[in-house]
């Protein structure tokens, strides 16, 4: 229950930052991938520059989290599916000019073509899910299902 509220709040904060940075606009992503404008690269790099050292320190201190046990980072080695999936993801990202989180913000900002992108993302994820029955690709992306609570 409390974890649901935390999930909602983190979603609101993340969606809010994406919207405030205009990452939900096709024009922003397009200008980035055309290499006309480097703001989004710097945005991502600075997010990593802030979080990576903090995560390193917190893990080393063996921090205990209220909902997920001891804080532990995952560092798996690249496999073939990472390269294959990444390659397809990049092509789709360039065509659709959006990715999963910004697509939701796109719709809340009134851009109706976001309603075309979101079902597409669902379909793509679903097609893959039907091919493989297990969670064999649990990794450092959000698909690692170290589930803390079902309710």
Partner 1 sequence: MFDALPDRLAWFVGGPILGLLIVGLFVVANQPLGASGAYVQTSGLIRRRSDVVVWRIWYFVGLFVGGLLVTQVFREGAEIRSGYDAMRDVFPLWATIPLVFGGATLLGYGAAVAGGCTSGHGMCGTAQRSPASMAVTVTFMATAILTTFVLRLATGGDL
Touching partner 1, residues 22-41 (CB under 8 A): 22, 24-27, 30, 33-35, 39-40
Q: How far apart are CA 111 and CA 141, in angstroms?
A: 28
The nearest distance, CB 21 to partner 1, in angstroms, is: 4
107: contact with partner 1 by CB under 8 A: yes
Residue 144's SS3 state is: coil
User: Of all helices (H) and strands (E), which one includes residue 85?
Assistant: helix 80-96
110: contact with partner 1 by CB under 8 A: yes
65: contact with partner 1 by CB under 8 A: yes
The nearest distance, CB 93 to partner 1, in angstroms, is: 5
Per-residue CA distances from 12 to 9, 19, 46 (Å): 5, 10, 20
112: contact with partner 1 by CB under 8 A: yes
Burial call 3-26: b when 16+ CB within 10 Å, e when fewer? eeeeeeeeeeeebeebbeeebbbb
Footprint of partner 1 on 121-150 (CB under 8 A): 121-129, 137-150
Footprint of partner 1 on 67-96 (CB under 8 A): 67-79, 81-96
The nearest distance, CB 57 to partner 1, in angstroms, is: 10
The nearest distance, CB 125 to partner 1, in angstroms, is: 4
Helical pair 80-96 and 114-131, crossing angle rounded to 10 deg: 160
């Amino acid at each position: 229950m409390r974890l649901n509220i935390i999930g909602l709040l983190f979603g609101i904060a993340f969606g809010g930052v994406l919207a405030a940075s205009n990452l939900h606009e096709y024009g922003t992503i397009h200008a980035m991938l055309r290499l006309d404008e480097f703001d989004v690269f710097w945005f991502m790099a600075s997010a990593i520059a802030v979080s990576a050292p903090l995560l390193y320190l917190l893990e080393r201190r063996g921090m205990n989290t209220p909902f997920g046990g001891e804080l532990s980072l995952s560092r798996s080695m690249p496999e073939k599916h990472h390269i294959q999936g990444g390659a397809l993801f990049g092509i789709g990202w360039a065509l659709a000019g959006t990715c999963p989180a910004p697509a939701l913000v796109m719709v809340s900002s009134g851009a109706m073509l976001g309603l075309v992108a979101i079902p597409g993302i669902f379909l793509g994820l679903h097609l893959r899910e039907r091919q493989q029955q297990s969670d064999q690709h649990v990794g450092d992306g959000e698909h690692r299902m170290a589930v803390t609570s079902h309710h």
